[in-house]
Structure 1
């Protein structure tokens, strides 16, 4: 990649584009929420989401439109370097293509392999339309190595990683949008400091658009980024970071965003390690992310997102420090960040599991076998639910799964206080483990699991999550939960509401 533009953009122009992005997006989001609400209700809510009612996953639509409008206006009214026009439109085309891939998945799920293949193809196109990482500076030294054709796979890996980082952290109202806002503010400053007109105005306009998005995304959210918005922001961030790096070298402009993305990088790394050790698919969602753990510690959604904002703000300040002081100071800032992570983790009960990795490795083989067995039973149960489509019959079949996994008693409770209890035959009186899984997206249902203490705790926790997810997915196949009228004093049982609304003749 060639050097950045030498034109200097006035600070007023940066603020003007940020304000314009805010002004354009603010009135459009209510319209998008209204247009896409029926589609969200048809799609329903997944087991791993934290909200109760269906929320449109179309926040990226406004951001993609704003991005295109900013690109057009920048080339008409601002002093964009003539040699950069082709690269600029390459950024526009590939970023919108990545948005289209994610939005397609929002409308009709594609599957992890197809999405990954699409990300790789679009990233390859960006290598030739925009540019690639060509040079690598050896840490703690002055030597710069030419990557040659190795720059292509490295660039693809860089862009695919950024594309998925924002998406993987997008599990809590306001979290992904707030982190993206911080990151774009950093890129806008870096672009303005280096005289890169196009990246600066794009980052500024999208930052303004994200402020408007957070107005409707902060807990309780009325709209989500969706895969389209998350893919778009992640991919564009990776591209702009490459564009702002001097001659494509892994320098301060390329390293600084990694510090700003410390939270999703840590969370994603832990998720991959956790799933790999348990024998679960690496891209399979779960309820073990950092925000899920904080919610389990008793924080509400607003408190959780504010805590994670605070950590990300500290990481953002370190990113500014790397840019101001140069990439040679990156190891120093990295050491400070690691120290802060250790101190923060030591204050949290759930984080102590991270430091017990040796004890976990000793039981890895046993956990992986239990995971494969539980996954196979879960897949059978979901297929059986497609054939039965009757909640009462599904509960009977669920008992077979529970018996195979070694549970002694499982209680299903509705907000109205009604219960369905399954008890294993000839259950001996032994000490038991207990766990409660709440399903807010299933009308407030709650599952309480009991199993003998002879089942190791890690296997019990894993099986409980998989069994609860299997029940939630099976129940979703019976149609949406009937809404509860506010005026009623007694709440209906969501299980029976589903049965009356969607019961097949076999019921």
Structure 2
């Protein structure tokens, strides 16, 4: 089943699959693992020693959720070189320790994977020469879930499942915040963005090496907590959860995820207020994707995109490729000085183009502008790729639009009355 999960990820690396197809495939593989005997059937309360036996249907749901969650957690932290491999290495060391006195074979598997990851990190640490890809991330994530589940079935029921959860506290936190953030803003929860923890560290000015090392340090603290959970057989779980909570209180503002805990209510309120506008932007995005199938030329598609930009409140949109430019500006707003600006590098048909967007600061706040500019860039990228693929045409920039005529003032009411 781990090889099947690797095959699914490799397929996605070669021919990109949609989020729903990947999730459906992961669920099928998790069900196959359940059929082969990898299942969560009971849970031992570490405080009382009482064992809870699950209903068969609940056992299926819990097992599938466990495998799908572990698989995707490793894949989601693979956004920066060296991070997924380093955290996976820490987890393999933990699982080898857990299995040492319980199951020598599982210990050997974990040690072997730890050695393989050490060799992989030699070439994956920034600047990376090789990458995990979805295939490698899926395989490692699924294997971590399987080893933890096998160890739990061999005796350490609570600790073997709780310890990896503590060790993965950083990606769990990152994913939770991403889902909550997208939900409040009205965005699809599977939509990728550049607001994960590692992206924020890079935006704060850290190099890729330093960002990875910072995240290694935080993950190491969580790993020590995971070891404590196993050594205590889960009895220290409430205390350890308190330690994790204190670390998060300090780490979250440091990573820029929340600037001030006192302003979190205001931030959520602003997100809810902007939901209608974001939903409108998503509808316009879908419209442009359909126009990519109907447009007779790339110029026509660019004209539709500038119409979308005007509707979303942008003053200027520019597409640059080498020394060639295609610029659209809204005539009625020329002259404003204070503006937001965003630059997005887009890969279209093996060519890198830069999309620049700007909007007046007095009509759009910075957070709203950044989000809308990202949606606009994604929209043009997908629409242009779709048009070039459908038309089977060579890459070319759209022709610059003709300048719009200046509005001519009509006769005043007073002049008409005097006549």
Shift in CA distance, 285/347, structure 1 to aligned 2, threshold 3 Å? closer
CA contact 1:135–1:248 (8 Å) conserved in 2: no
Greater RCO (CA < 8 Å, at least 6 residues apart): 1
Counterpart of 2:81 in 1: which secondary structure?
A: coil
| Deviation string, structure 1 residues 161-205 (Cα, Å, up to 9, x no partner) | 1111111111111111111111111111211132x1222121111
Q: Which residue of 2 aligns with 1:410?
A: 317
The answer to whether the 8 A contact 1:408-1:452 is kept is: no
**1:423 is the counterpart of 2:329:** yes
- Deviation of residue 479 (structure 1)? 7.3
| Aligned: 1:340 with 2:233 | no
Aligned match for 1:263, one of 166, 170, 176: 170
Aligned residues: 394
Counterpart of 2:79 in structure 1 is 171
Is the contact between residue 200 and residue 255 of structure 2 (CA under 8 Å) also seen in structure 1?
A: no
Q: Provide the rounded CA distance (Å) in 2 between the counterparts of 1:248 and 1:431.
A: 68
Aligned to 1:356: 263
| Whole-angstrom CA distance in 2 between matches of 1:291 and 1:364 | 22
Distance 1:123 1:152 in 2: 9
- 1:314-333 paired onto structure 2 within 5 Å: 314-333=221-240
Partner residue of 1:295 out of 184, 193, 202: 202
Bigger mean CA offset, 271-280 vs 220-229: 220-229
Do the aligned residues in 1 keep the contact of 2:340 with 2:358 (CA within 8 Å)? yes
| Aligned residue runs from structure 1 range 350-499, under 5 A | 350-352=257-259, 356-385=263-292, 394-413=301-320, 419-427=325-333, 432-439=338-345, 443=352, 445=354, 447-476=356-385
Mark the structure with the bigger radius of gyration: 2
How far did residue 381 of structure 1 move?
2.9
How far apart are the structure 2 equivalents of 1:298 and 1:504? 33
- In the TM superposition, residue 105 of structure 1 has moved relative to its aligned partner by 1.7
Alpha carbons 2:326, 2:399 under 8 Å: kept = no
CA distance 1:343–1:221, change in 2 (3 Å): same
Distance 2:173 2:261 in 1: 12
CA distance in 1: counterparts of 2:27 and 2:214, whole angstroms = 34
Residue aligned with 2:188, SS:
coil
Counting only pairs closer than 5 Å after superposition, residues 237-316 of structure 1 correspond to structure 2 as 237-247=144-154, 250-316=157-223
Q: How far apart in 2 are the matches of 1:349 and 1:431?
A: 29
Matched, 1:188 2:81: no
Paired with 2:261 and 2:385, the residues of 1 have a C-alpha distance of 34
Distance 2:266 2:51 in 1: 42
RMSD of aligned alpha carbons? 3.0
Q: What CA deviation, in whole Å up to 9, does each residue of 1:8-61 have, x standing for no partner?
A: xxxxxxxxxxxxxxxxxxxxxxxxxxxxxxxxxxxxxxxxxxxxxxxxxxxxxx
Indicate if the aligned counterparts of 2:278 and 2:372 stay in contact, CA closer than 8 A.
Answer: yes
Displacement of 1:256 after TM fit? 0.7
CA contact (8 A) 1:278 1:371 kept: yes
Is the 8 Å Cα contact of residues 359 and 369 (structure 2) preserved in structure 1? no
1:204–1:355 Cα change, 3 Å: farther
Match of 1:155 in 2: 63
Change in 2 beyond 3 A, CA 1:469/1:356: farther
- Structure 1, gaps ≥5 residues long: 1-93, 481-499
Kept after mapping to 1: 8 A contact 2:7/2:135: yes
Moved more, 294-303 or 347-356: 347-356
Q: Distance in 1 between matches of 2:93 and 2:231?
A: 15
Give 2:107's aligned residue. 200
Distance in 1 between residues matched to 2:323 and 2:225, nearest whole Å:
51
* Alpha-carbon offset, residue 428 of structure 1: 6.7
The DSSP-based 3-state class of the residue aligned with 1:222 is coil
Q: Which deviations, in whole Å up to 9, do the C-alpha atoms of 1:415-456 show, x marking residues without a partner?
A: x57654321131175675413234275637352422342334
- Give 1:143 deviation, angstroms: 2.4
Alpha-carbon shift at residue 359 of structure 1 (Å): 1.3
Report deviation, 1:389: 8.9
Distance 1:187 1:319, change over 3 A: same
**Maintained 8 Å contact 1:166/1:231:** yes
1:48-85 CA distances to partner (integer Å, 9 max, x unpaired)? Answer: xxxxxxxxxxxxxxxxxxxxxxxxxxxxxxxxxxxxxx
Q: String of CA shifts for 1:234-292, please: whole Å, max 9, x gaps.
A: 11111110111155774111111111111110111111111111111111211111111
Contact 1:390 1:506 in 2 (8 A): no
